[in-house]
Structure 1
Amino acid sequence: MSSAHKPTPHSRSSYRAFRSIPTRWMDNDMYGHVNNVVYYSWFDTAVNALLIERGALDIHQGQTIGFVVETQCNYFAPIAFPETVEAGIRVAQAGRSSVRYEIALFAQGAETAAAQGHFVHVYVDRATQRPVPLPEALQRVVDSLKA
């Protein structure tokens, strides 16, 4: 498969917020490094934990919830247990009801990303599951994360 654009790893300075995530023994696969599917769970953990901590997302009682409608990841270097991952987070684009979060995963203390990618959340009403405008608290956090 040929690609017109080969991604290159970003540096820490490209991201607006960070979250540390410890690896677990079970994250390693038979090749001795973290399996690719775990990276997507780290994306989800980093963004949602940040939104919860900043008061922009109430996963239990909130009327607005986010559905992931797109995700992608590029891998540059392996990560393995017992390393701690540092997830960098930024917002690349925000619409009326959707946000494209970009996440880079750094080995602890590393300057360049071991992996990076994105996911798009569409925010919907919990009851109707129809798109809704970003709530004010979420909009404030999104604005603070814009690249």
Structure 2
Amino acid sequence: MNAQAKLIYTARIPVRWGDMDAYGHVNNTVYFRFFEQARCEWIEHMGFRVSPEEATGPVIINASCTFLAPVNYPATVIIKMYAGDPGRSSVMTWYELFIEGEERLYAEGAAKTVWMDMRSGKSAPLPDKVRALCDAARN
């Protein structure tokens, strides 16, 4: 994670029985869904809708995850979401995944979030509110 990244949102997400795979732990693809859920909650928390019907909105252009320890049902994951310096149309985000009640880091990830014009498919300037919240987290 970038040393200048600042915490911008924390999500609590229950692990479902169906999130587990044949190995008896949460499937690796579900970690990306946890990060996605935190990102969507953050966007909605700012007053934006995550919907294809909106003229502009956030998309990710890359995502990564490092799996440090297996997560098992039952549990509630805590996703801490961090942001870097906003660019013209994008902001880099990082994620830490913990289990509620534990200090151990189970996974960490990243995603570059780009604001996009849904009609043209081209990047659009980050809304002032998103930029201000990312900047405020740094102060």
**TM-score in same-fold range (> 0.5):** yes
User: In the TM superposition, what whole-angstrom CA distance separates every residue of 1:7-57 from its partner, at most 9, and x where no partner exists?
Assistant: 9xxxxxx744311000101101111110100000111100111110221x2
Q: Does the 8 A contact of 1:102 with 1:117 survive in 2?
A: yes
Q: Distance in 2 between matches of 1:16 and 1:99?
A: 12
5+ long unaligned stretches in structure 1: 1-6, 8-13
Q: Distance in 1 between matches of 2:15 and 2:41?
A: 16
Q: How many residues align?
A: 134
Match of 1:85 in 2: 77
Match of 1:70 in 2: 62
Q: Distance in 2 between matches of 1:119 and 1:102?
A: 6
Of 15, 20, 23, which residue of structure 1 is paired with 2:12? Answer: 20
Give yes or no for the alignment of 1:114 onto 2:106. Answer: yes
Match of 1:3 in 2: none
Match of 1:53 in 2: 45
Identity %: 31
Match of 1:96 in 2: 88
Identify if the C-alpha distance between structure 1 residues 144 and 77 changes in structure 2 by more than 3 Å, giving closer, same or farther.
farther
Give yes or no for the alignment of 1:39 onto 2:31. Answer: yes
Deviation of 1:80 after TM superposition, in Å, equals 0.9
Identify if the C-alpha distance between structure 1 residues 145 and 78 changes in structure 2 by more than 3 Å, giving closer, same or farther.
farther
Q: Does the 8 A contact of 2:40 with 2:50 survive in 1?
A: no
Q: CA RMSD in A?
A: 1.9
> Which consecutive aligned stretches of 4+ in structure 1 deviate over 2 angstroms post-superposition?
14-17, 59-63, 140-147
5+ long unaligned stretches in structure 2: none
Match of 1:125 in 2: 117
Match of 2:135 in 1: 143
Q: Distance in 2 between matches of 1:125 and 1:104?
A: 29
